[in-house]
Structure 1
Amino acid sequence: MKITFILICLYSITIINAKDSPRNTILLDTGWRFHLGDITNGESADLNDQNWEQVSVPHDWAICGNFDMTIDMQWTQVIEDGDTKSELRTGRTGALPMFGIGWYRKEIDLSDVEKGKQISVEFDGAMSNAQVFLNGKFVGNWAYGYSSFAFDLTPFVNFGKKNILAVKLHNEDLSSRWYSGAGLYRNVRMVITNPIHVAHWGTQITTPDITTKKGTVDIHTSIKKTSTENENIRLITEIYDSKGIKVASDTRQQKGIEGINQFIQQIEVKAPQLWNIESPNLYRAVSNVYVDNQLYDKYETTFGFRTIEFNREKGFFLNGQKTKIYGVCLHHDLGPLGAAVNVRATERQLEMMKEMGCNAIRTSHNPPSPELLELCDKMGFLVQVESFDEWLGEKNENGYNKYFDEWCERDMEAMIRRDRNHPSVIMWSIGNEVREQKQAGTAHIARRLVEVCRREDPTRPTTAGFNFHTEAIDNGLANEIDLVGFNYKPYDYKVKHDQYPDMIIYGSETASAISSRGVYKFPVEERTYDWYEDYQISSYDLDRVSWGAIPDVEFAAQEDNDFVFGEFVWTGFDYLGEPTPYNEGTPARSSYFGIVDLAGLKKDRFYLYQSHWSDEPVLHVLPHWNFPERIGQIVPVFCYTNYPKAELFVNGKSMGTRTHDKSDKYKRYRLVWEDVIYEPGEIKVVAYDNLGKFAEEKIIRTAGKPYQIKMTADRNLINADGKDLSFITVEVLDKDGNPCPTSNQLLFFEANGEGKLKALCNGDATSQTSFCSSYMNLFNGKLIAIVESSQIKGNIEIHAFGSYLKEDRIIINVK
Structure 2
Amino acid sequence: MNKQTVKRFWLLSAVLILVCNIINAQEREHDFNFDWKFNLVKDTKLPTNVPLKDADWRAIRLPHDWSVEASFSKELEGATGYLPGGIGIYQKHFKTPINVSNQKAFVLFDGVYNNATFWLNGKLLGENPYGYSPTYFDLTNKLKKDGSENILTVHVDHSRYADGRWYTGSGIYRNVTLITTDNLHIPIWGTYVTTPEITSEKATVKLETKVVNEGKRRTKFSVVTKIYDENNVLVANQENSSKLSSRKETAITQNLEVNNPKLWDIDSPNMYKAITEIVSNGKVIDSYTTPFGIRTIKHIKDQGFFLNGKSTFVKGVCIHHDGGLVGAAVPKGVWRRRIQALKDAGVNAIRTSHNPFSQEFYDLCDEMGVLVQSEIFDEFDNPKDKRWNMQEREPDYITTGYTEHFQKWAESDLKRSILRDRNHPSIFEWSIGNEIEWTYEHYRYVSGLWDPGAKSYWNRIPNISADEMKKRYQELPDRKYKLAETAKRLAGWVKELDLTRPVTANLIIPVASLASGYADALDIVGFSYQINQYDWSKKYYPNMHFTGNENAGTWEEWNSIIEDPMIYSMYMWTGIDYLGEAHNKWPQKGWDGDILDFAGFKKEGWDHFKSIWVNKPHISLGTYPVKDSLMVDELSGKVKIKSAKFLKWNNSRAQKNWNYKKGETIIVEVPSNLPKAELLLNGKSLGWRTLSGSPDRILRWAVPFQEGTLSARAGFDGAEMEVTLTTTTEPVRIKLTTDKTVLTADGYDVAHVIAQLVDKDGLNVTTEDVKLTFDVDGDVKVLGVDNGSKESLQDYQTNQVVTSQGRALLLIQSLKGKSDAVIVKATAPKLKSNLVMIEAQ
Which interval holds the TM-score relative to the shorter structure? 0.7 to 0.9
Measure the CA separation in 1 of the matches of 2:617 and 2:187: 49
Decide which of 761, 774, 789 is 1:749's aligned counterpart.
774
Q: State the Cα distance separating 1:215 from its structure 2 match.
A: 1.2
What amino acid does structure 2 have at the position aligned with 1:370?
Q
User: Would the alpha carbon gap of residues 291 and 331 (structure 1) be closer, same or farther in structure 2, given more than 3 Å must change?
Assistant: same
User: Would the alpha carbon gap of residues 18 and 94 (structure 1) be closer, same or farther in structure 2, given more than 3 Å must change?
Assistant: farther
What amino acid does structure 2 have at the position aligned with 1:637?
V
Alpha-carbon deviations, 1:24-74, whole Å to 9, x = none?
A: 3211111100011156885756632111111100000111211112121xx
- Residue matched to 1:69: 74
User: Would the alpha carbon gap of residues 736 and 43 (structure 1) be closer, same or farther in structure 2, given more than 3 Å must change?
Assistant: farther
Preserved contact between residue 18 and residue 24 of structure 1 (Cα < 8 Å): no
Preserved contact between residue 43 and residue 137 of structure 1 (Cα < 8 Å): no
- Residue matched to 1:392: 381
Bigger Cα displacement from structure 2, 328-337 vs 786-795: 786-795
- Residue matched to 1:683: 710
Q: State the Cα distance separating 1:192 from its structure 2 match.
A: 1.1
Unaligned runs of 5+ in 2: 1-18, 387-394, 444-472, 474-481, 624-654
Q: State the Cα distance separating 1:436 from its structure 2 match.
A: 5.0
SS in 1 for 2:704: coil
- Residue matched to 1:807: 833
Measure the CA separation in 1 of the matches of 2:29 and 2:585: 48
User: Would the alpha carbon gap of residues 93 and 17 (structure 1) be closer, same or farther in structure 2, given more than 3 Å must change?
Assistant: farther
Measure the CA separation in 2 of the matches of 1:18 and 1:751: 40
- 2:28 matches 1:24: yes
| Match runs of 1:258-269 below 5 Å | 258-269=247-258
- Residue matched to 1:409: 411
Q: CA RMSD in A?
A: 2.0
Bigger Cα displacement from structure 2, 711-720 vs 359-368: 711-720
Q: State the Cα distance separating 1:16 from its structure 2 match.
A: 14
Decide which of 349, 355, 361 is 1:366's aligned counterpart.
355
Measure the CA separation in 2 of the matches of 1:757 and 1:290: 46
SS in 2 for 1:21: helix
- 2:606 matches 1:606: yes
- Residue matched to 1:129: 115
- 2:588 matches 1:593: no
- 2:182 matches 1:194: yes
- Residue matched to 1:157: 143
- Residue matched to 2:531: 490
SS in 2 for 1:491: helix
- Residue matched to 1:277: 266
Preserved contact between residue 125 and residue 184 of structure 1 (Cα < 8 Å): yes
What amino acid does structure 2 have at the position aligned with 1:236?
V
Measure the CA separation in 1 of the matches of 2:614 and 2:562: 15
- Residue matched to 2:465: none
User: Would the alpha carbon gap of residues 212 and 801 (structure 1) be closer, same or farther in structure 2, given more than 3 Å must change?
Assistant: same
Preserved contact between residue 510 and residue 567 of structure 1 (Cα < 8 Å): yes
Preserved contact between residue 122 and residue 149 of structure 1 (Cα < 8 Å): yes
User: Would the alpha carbon gap of residues 357 and 290 (structure 1) be closer, same or farther in structure 2, given more than 3 Å must change?
Assistant: same
| Match runs of 1:599-638 below 5 Å | 599-623=599-623, 630-638=661-669
Preserved contact between residue 622 and residue 657 of structure 2 (Cα < 8 Å): no
SS in 1 for 2:616: coil
- 2:127 matches 1:141: yes
| Match runs of 1:180-259 below 5 Å | 180-257=168-245, 258-259=247-248
What amino acid does structure 1 have at the position aligned with 2:93?
E
Measure the CA separation in 2 of the matches of 1:251 and 1:371: 30
- 2:327 matches 1:343: no
SS in 2 for 1:619: coil
SS in 2 for 1:497: helix
Q: State the Cα distance separating 1:206 from its structure 2 match.
A: 1.3
- Residue matched to 1:646: 677
What amino acid does structure 1 have at the position aligned with 2:563?
D
- Residue matched to 2:287: 298
Decide which of 260, 277, 301 is 1:288's aligned counterpart.
277
SS in 1 for 2:558: helix
SS in 2 for 1:377: helix
- Residue matched to 2:638: none
- Residue matched to 2:741: 716
| Match runs of 1:475-514 below 5 Å | 475-511=516-552
Preserved contact between residue 625 and residue 680 of structure 1 (Cα < 8 Å): no
- 2:53 matches 1:48: yes
Measure the CA separation in 2 of the matches of 1:274 and 1:263: 25
Bigger Cα displacement from structure 2, 274-283 vs 754-763: 754-763
SS in 1 for 2:486: helix
| Match runs of 1:397-796 below 5 Å | 397=395, 398-434=400-436, 435=438, 439=443, 440=473, 441-511=482-552, 551-579=554-582, 583-584=583-584, 586-623=586-623, 630-661=661-692, 664-666=694-696, 669-673=697-701, 675-690=702-717, 693-791=718-816, 792-796=818-822
Measure the CA separation in 2 of the matches of 1:22 and 1:56: 22
Preserved contact between residue 23 and residue 194 of structure 1 (Cα < 8 Å): no
Decide which of 39, 43, 49 is 1:35's aligned counterpart.
39
- 2:384 matches 1:356: no
User: Would the alpha carbon gap of residues 46 and 280 (structure 1) be closer, same or farther in structure 2, given more than 3 Å must change?
Assistant: closer
User: Would the alpha carbon gap of residues 371 and 16 (structure 1) be closer, same or farther in structure 2, given more than 3 Å must change?
Assistant: farther
Alpha-carbon deviations, 1:525-554, whole Å to 9, x = none?
A: xxxxxxxxxxxxxxxxxxxxxxxxx53232
Measure the CA separation in 2 of the matches of 1:575 and 1:239: 40
User: Would the alpha carbon gap of residues 605 and 111 (structure 1) be closer, same or farther in structure 2, given more than 3 Å must change?
Assistant: closer
Preserved contact between residue 794 and residue 801 of structure 2 (Cα < 8 Å): yes
Bigger Cα displacement from structure 2, 33-42 vs 131-140: 33-42
Preserved contact between residue 43 and residue 134 of structure 1 (Cα < 8 Å): no
Q: State the Cα distance separating 1:494 from its structure 2 match.
A: 3.0
User: Would the alpha carbon gap of residues 681 and 302 (structure 1) be closer, same or farther in structure 2, given more than 3 Å must change?
Assistant: same
SS in 1 for 2:25: coil
- Residue matched to 1:311: 300
User: Would the alpha carbon gap of residues 436 and 92 (structure 1) be closer, same or farther in structure 2, given more than 3 Å must change?
Assistant: closer
Q: State the Cα distance separating 1:775 from its structure 2 match.
A: 1.0
Measure the CA separation in 2 of the matches of 1:790 and 1:153: 29
Preserved contact between residue 436 and residue 442 of structure 1 (Cα < 8 Å): no
Preserved contact between residue 109 and residue 135 of structure 2 (Cα < 8 Å): yes
SS in 2 for 1:110: coil
Q: State the Cα distance separating 1:613 from its structure 2 match.
A: 0.5
Q: State the Cα distance separating 1:488 from its structure 2 match.
A: 1.1
Alpha-carbon deviations, 1:173-218, whole Å to 9, x = none?
A: 3311111001000011111111000011000111221111211122
Q: State the Cα distance separating 1:799 from its structure 2 match.
A: 1.6
What amino acid does structure 2 have at the position aligned with 1:340?
A
Alpha-carbon deviations, 1:229-252, whole Å to 9, x = none?
A: 121121111111122121211121
Measure the CA separation in 1 of the matches of 2:686 and 2:597: 32
Percent of paired sites with the same residue:
35
Alpha-carbon deviations, 1:129-158, whole Å to 9, x = none?
A: 111100011011111010001110111111
Unaligned runs of 5+ in 1: 1-14, 73-90, 512-549
Preserved contact between residue 42 and residue 166 of structure 1 (Cα < 8 Å): no
User: Would the alpha carbon gap of residues 501 and 58 (structure 1) be closer, same or farther in structure 2, given more than 3 Å must change?
Assistant: same
**TM-score, normalising length: structure 1:** 0.87
Preserved contact between residue 776 and residue 824 of structure 2 (Cα < 8 Å): yes
Preserved contact between residue 22 and residue 193 of structure 1 (Cα < 8 Å): no
Larger radius of gyration: 2
User: Would the alpha carbon gap of residues 601 and 68 (structure 1) be closer, same or farther in structure 2, given more than 3 Å must change?
Assistant: same
Alpha-carbon deviations, 1:559-600, whole Å to 9, x = none?
A: 222321111111111011123xxx425211121124210011
SS in 2 for 1:384: strand
Q: State the Cα distance separating 1:167 from its structure 2 match.
A: 0.3
Aligned residues: 735
- 2:335 matches 1:332: no
Measure the CA separation in 2 of the matches of 1:109 and 1:400: 35
Measure the CA separation in 2 of the matches of 1:779 and 1:308: 43
What amino acid does structure 1 have at the position aligned with 2:418?
I
Bigger Cα displacement from structure 2, 499-508 vs 312-321: 499-508
